[in-house]
A and B are shown apart, each in its own frame.
Chain A
Amino acid sequence: MGYVYFSLANMDLSEERKLVRQAQKAPDAFAKLYDQYYPKIFGYALRRTANLEVAQDITSETFFKALKKLWQFHWRNISFSSWLYKIASNEVNQYFRKAAYRKSVSLEELQEEGFEPASPYDPESELIEAQEKLKQHQDFLEIQAKIARLPTKYQEVIALRFFEQKQIIEIAEILGKREGTIKSLLHRALEKLRETD
């Protein structure tokens, strides 16, 4: 029967759970989840940090942690997407807490171990090109800079609500808090942000 291609576009939760279970053993199932969520997680990390290089590292870290901990996902009654956001959020917070974000995996190190990307790409030129694109979002960068100065608990809710367009209930799931808590956090976050103006 050969390869089974999954369509993730209209995949419901139970199907996704099934895929996650398969992903624990089957690289192809994991690859499919990765393809689906890479843009979202990278986008989130970028919009939280406004730094392409850091966003890359956070994305790498998030997916490696997800892969390592895939078996645990089974025990949590949250969607896979929320779970990934949760890991990514923790990574971003860690970045903001530490002066220098220390990553445990890097593609360079992997390359030294003998891993070679199939089609060599030039990270430098890709980054430069992306930097140019990022610079065009001046409005965003301005407000992002202010948000980044807030405590991480406020950054999280603002980013998830306004940049990632998440519903309150989803944010509650991602952050593991009650909806009421999210609402009050969001309110306080906006108050703080307004004060910085």
Chain B
Amino acid sequence: MKYEDLMKKLENLKTPEIELAGHKRALRMALLSSRYFRKRISIDWAKMLAPVAATVLLIAVAGFFAAIQPSLVHFGGNQIDKFASYQQLRDFVKGNAQYVGFLWKGSAPSVSGGRETYDLAVVTSEGYSTTNIQVAGVDEVDIVKTDGEYIYLASGNKTLIVKAYPPEQAQILSQIELEGTVIGIFINHDRLVVIEEKVPYYPYYDVRWETEEKIYMPYISPKTFIKVYDVSDRANPQLQREISANGQYVSSRMIGDYAYVVVNEPVYEQDNEVNLPKICVGVEPKEIPATEIYYSDVSDRYYMYTTIIAINTQNDGEEPAYETILLGASSNLYVSLNNIYLTFPVWGTGVGDFDKTSIHRIEINGAQIEPAASGEVPGMVLSQFSMDEYDGYFRVATTTHALTTQNNVYILDTGLNIVGVLEGLASGETIYSARFMGDRCYLVTFRQVDPLFVIDLSNPSYPEELGYLKITGYSSYLHPYDENHLIGIGKETTEQGEFAWYQGVKIALFDVSNVSQPTLIDTEVIGHRGTESPVLWDHKAFLFDKSRNLLVIPILEAKVDTTKYSEQDLVWAYGEPVWQGAYVFNIYLDAGIGEKGKITHIENIADPEQAYQYFWSPFVVTRSLYIDDVLYTISDAKIKMNNLENLEYINEVELPSSDWVPYEYLPGESRSEEPSAGAESGGK
């Protein structure tokens, strides 16, 4: 056959187009229920609810029609109330789902012990660092904790206790193995609190995407466990008490001796009955009766039972306390010393009815938990740092997405009535980070450049923009250096026309002593486009100590091979990952930010077990802390100890590997396997 004929034949060949619908569906489910997703399910109720989509949607649809019928059921008014009966709860849920209305307002009780001064939630040098928290005195759960002698760490389904100081004697003392995933831990004297979550394993997701052939699956609730261990003998931790609740872990805090854990359980209907939340203290699971459940006249696509559990970590004789409120799906939570603020988004229709945030204040005092007030503000809350309580007022920064986006700060009284408003900041931009410090609020908004706004809140009724500074890039985390200086961590950007390309990770030091004219003291950019740091989304990965002029952040550094691109392409070119570990900086107000050194756990970058999986390798450094003059960097594979002064290696402790297995290389992925172009055309 002639060459041309062969070409023609191939070009006109009718090739088979066959589909195996059954295989396609089965493979899809296998993929979606595989461990790659199971391990990394985050709190996203839209996903968690998929298995009950059919039943919940029923409630939603019924609610939708109910909303336009005169027989609409609603309760509330001025009183914060509990349901009178199960029947009432059932009618309420079925009648109100999807109905949007806010009738529940708090009776404005005063916040006990309003503070005149505020504390920077910054480590004061006690000889060791603690978790980077938002509010002084309100501890936040984390995967690593230290008490100055031991390091406690959560890794997969394990909690380890490691003798850490002195570094020469460092060794693992004990290991607690659990069935579920350890979300995080608290340490309080000789008590270790472990929060564990068990997510049922079954393929949830198909219901969602193939709505045309709805498949009914019974809902299996995830379970959250709170386990308190006596660790007075660090080598032999003893389980003292165990409390579990149906539902997914939302957040937790520890104030004084009390640990507070918030759990969400969706409300769903099965066999014409509405479920009730379940809690288990000791052995017997107990259904929380409707008459013990608070409700508000708010409505969401879904209803959730939000249960707050308080446990005295030191006194095992004290019964754990808990309260349940029927709310929407909590998205962000802020906790002061006296109050828990739960927020959830209320989605608008977008036509003269924009997105709002519903806020609920729950007073806490030891084992007392009491829903106190509820209110709402326009716009969406970004994170816990967008909220603050100070001097009896709750302050919140939001972004509204109307025709153009704009940003706002609201000040609310204890009854959650809005008393002060500052709206319309940075039109067209979105809040990337926020930080409230006493009478001031700092906001970073971004679209192409990063304005840092300074807002004065000293008169709660008249919040006022004092000044701003525009620089390239943005900060997604703001940390107080002191009362007049801020550290921002984010990304550098390069503008190109109407667009800005993200570049390396940027650290900026701002001077805000002249509020009307904030200035930039120094910036440091690490790596090229593609460089990442967990600090950008997790403040607990950030280590700063002012007295030691120390700043440590984990970095995945990417570098662009400049020979591969033309100059104008360099702005969008992604770098290749070249390094992962902790970057250690000196930080001074006069001298600025200077790199002190870098510590990695990946000794051999060519070893696939260590470096191939840049994001998932157990050698990825996630946290750092110090005890005395020793810097500890922590990955799933080891704890490494270096001298804090000169970063010289001291010692390391290998940690038991999790079930992580390095994935094999793709066969034939290396390009050198095939003969090179030259060899090819040269002929053999």
Contact = CB atoms under 8 A, between A and B. Distances in A.
B31 A1 contact: no
A62 B676 CA distance: 26
A194 B16 contact: no
Interface string B11-29: 1011111111111111111
Interface in A112-136: 114-119, 121-123, 126-127, 130, 133-134
Contacts of B205: 27-28, 31
A53 to B, nearest CB: 10
Contact of B20 (A1, A130, A139, A153): A130
B16 A30 contact: no
B33 interface: yes
Contacts of B666: 65, 69, 87, 90
B3 A134 contact: no
Contacts of A153: 674
Interface in A71-103: 71, 74-75, 77, 87, 89-90, 93-94
A114 B205 CA distance: 16
A118 B30 CA distance: 10
Interface string B634-665: 00000000000000000000000000000100
Given A63-B31, A134-B16, A122 B22 contact: yes
B44 to A, nearest CB: 8
Interface in B1-53: 1-3, 6-7, 9-11, 13-34, 36-37, 40, 42, 44, 46-47
B6 A47 contact: no
A101 to B, nearest CB: 12
B18 A34 contact: no
B13 A139 contact: yes
A25 interface: yes
A168 interface: no
A25 B24 contact: no
Contacts of B284: none
Interface string B188-214: 000000000000011101101100010
Interface residues of B, number: 69
B20 A185 contact: no
B666 to A, nearest CB: 5
Contacts of A63: 27, 31
A123 to B, nearest CB: 6
A31 to B, nearest CB: 5
Given A2-B46, A63-B27, A75-B577, A126 B21 contact: yes
Contact of A68 (B9, B36, B215, B217): B36
B27 A190 contact: no
A13 B663 CA distance: 27
Contacts of A188: 680
Given A2-B301, A42-B20, A184-B681, A110 B30 contact: yes
B683 to A, nearest CB: 9
A67 B613 CA distance: 13
Interface in A29-84: 30-32, 34-35, 38-39, 42-43, 46-47, 52, 56, 59-60, 63-65, 67-69, 71, 74-75, 77
A151 B611 CA distance: 33
Contacts of A39: 19, 24
B450 to A, nearest CB: 21
A123 B23 contact: yes
A64 B31 contact: yes
Contacts of A43: 16-18
A27 B37 contact: yes
A117 B16 contact: no
A38 B24 contact: yes
Nearest to B49: A2
A158 interface: yes
A123 B680 contact: no
B616 interface: yes
Contacts of B301: 2
A27 B18 contact: no
Given A28-B47, A115-B33, A117-B26, A162 B677 contact: no
Interface string A164-183: 00000000000011101100
Given A34-B31, A90-B667, A194-B6, A25 B40 contact: yes
Contacts of B680: 181, 184-185, 188
B31 A30 contact: yes
A140 B32 contact: no
B24 to A, nearest CB: 5
A99 to B, nearest CB: 15
Nearest to B681: A184
A184 B674 CA distance: 14
A42 B19 contact: yes
B9 A143 contact: yes
A28 B208 contact: yes
Contacts of B33: 115
Contact of B201 (A114, A161, A190): A114
A148 interface: no
A140 B301 CA distance: 53
Contacts of B14: 137, 139-140
Given A47-B15, A56-B20, A65-B666, A27 B574 contact: no
Interface string B294-305: 000000010000
B3 A194 contact: yes
B217 to A, nearest CB: 8
B576 interface: yes
A126 B26 CA distance: 13
Contacts of B31: 30-31, 34, 63-64, 67
B662 to A, nearest CB: 11
B574 A25 contact: no
- Scoring A27, A59, A117, A191 by chain B CB atoms within 10 A of each residue's CB, the highest score goes to A27
A146 to B, nearest CB: 10
Contacts of B588: none
A93 B668 contact: yes
Given A68-B36, A71-B616, A177-B677, A31 B209 contact: yes
B25 A117 contact: yes
A11 interface: no
A12 interface: no
A71 B614 contact: yes
- Scoring A64, A90, A115 by chain B CB atoms within 10 A of each residue's CB, the highest score goes to A115
B511 to A, nearest CB: 35
28 contacts: A30-B31, A31-B32, A42-B19, A52-B18, A60-B30, A64-B34, A67-B34, A69-B663, A74-B574, A75-B576, A77-B574, A89-B668, A90-B666, A90-B668, A107-B27, A117-B25, A118-B29, A121-B22, A126-B23, A127-B20, A134-B18, A143-B9, A158-B10, A176-B671, A181-B680, A181-B681, A184-B677, A185-B680
Given A31-B28, A133-B16, A162-B11, 4 more contacts: A121-B21, A122-B22, A162-B10, A185-B680
The 9 closest A-B pairs by CB, nearest first: A121-B22, A162-B10, A181-B677, A117-B26, A118-B215, A90-B668, A137-B16, A27-B32, A126-B22
